[in-house]
Amino acid sequence: MTTLITEVALIIALASFAQALSGFGFALVAVPLLTLLTSPQNAIVVVTALGGVLSLAVCVHQRDHVNVRIAGLVSGAGLVGMPLGLLAMTVLSAPSLSVLIACVVLVFAFLIGRGMTFRRGAGPTVVSGVASGALLTSTGMNGPPLVAAFQAMGLAPREFRATLQATFCVQDALALAGFLAVGRLTVDGLLLVGVGLPGLLVGWWCGDRVFARTDSARFKKIVLGVLVASACVSLYQAALN
């Protein structure tokens, strides 16, 4: 039991560090690693709950940098996509979902690396929101489409990170309500959430200090690196299954 507690805390600390540094990456890091310790369904619920706590704290602290219009549009569109994600979870096998995740993430990384840009508008924002909602309820990883969209919009690092956290906070709360409704929010999951809280705080504290010393060019490289690494982890998970 002690070993499990330590492993969960370390995984959550690493995931929180990644999110503090790049503005996303919490679920991309935590979900694949936690599935090595518990069921995929449990891992998704635990990461969604902890991610919601982290995003709420950051959103309140950095509320002045949140683009409210973009966050509102994406959150509303995400609610539309969530039932699609639940349907995908029931139809696709775990390996198929892992491969799908990896392919989507790699496509987004390629587009960002190629310098994809578009003006801020309701259309791209809504599409990214629907995709993120579907990915959240099917895999726990709602970041990639939002990262690609926000990066393409040219949001400054602080606006990028704060707006992502606001969006994650709303989407995580909606997803948890859905998990509760279908009986996926269990006592075991809540215990793991409690175990992960110390790692959450330590990881963010460390990552936030590194973020303060990161310029825009390096920030973009970090975003790309996290995307590619997460895709590789998803492919590895598919191979294991």
Range of lowest pLDDT (3-7, 104-108, 171-175, 195-199): 104-108
Residues 6+ apart with CB under 8 A from 22: 161, 219, 222, 223, 226
The pTM (predicted TM-score) of the whole model is: 0.75
Q: Is 185's pLDDT higher than 70?
A: yes
Range of lowest pLDDT (12-16, 46-50, 220-224): 220-224
Q: How far apart are CA 180 and CA 183, in angstroms?
A: 5
pLDDT in tens, 110-164: 766 676 555 556 677 788 889 888 888 887 778 778 877 787 777 777 888 888 8
Domain ranges of the chain: 2-240
- What was the pLDDT predicted at 219? 65
- What was the pLDDT predicted at 230? 67
Alpha helices (H) in the chain, listed in sequence order: 2-22, 26-34, 40-61, 68-91, 94-113, 122-139, 143-153, 157-181, 187-211, 216-240
Q: How confident is the model at residue 10 (pLDDT cuts 50, 70, 90)?
A: very high
pLDDT in tens, 79-119: 999 888 878 767 777 677 677 767 766 776 676 667 655 55
Q: How far apart are CA 142 and CA 146, in angstroms?
A: 7
Percent with pLDDT over 70 in the chain? 83
Unique residue bearing structure tokens 């590619």: 228
CA 217 to chain centre: 22
- What was the pLDDT predicted at 215? 67
Mean pLDDT of the chain: 80
- What was the pLDDT predicted at 49? 92
Mean pLDDT of 178-185: 80
Return the HEC string of 57-69: HHHHHCHHHCCHH
- What was the pLDDT predicted at 18? 79
- What was the pLDDT predicted at 96? 77
- What was the pLDDT predicted at 200? 92
pLDDT in tens, 33-55: 887 788 777 888 899 999 899 88
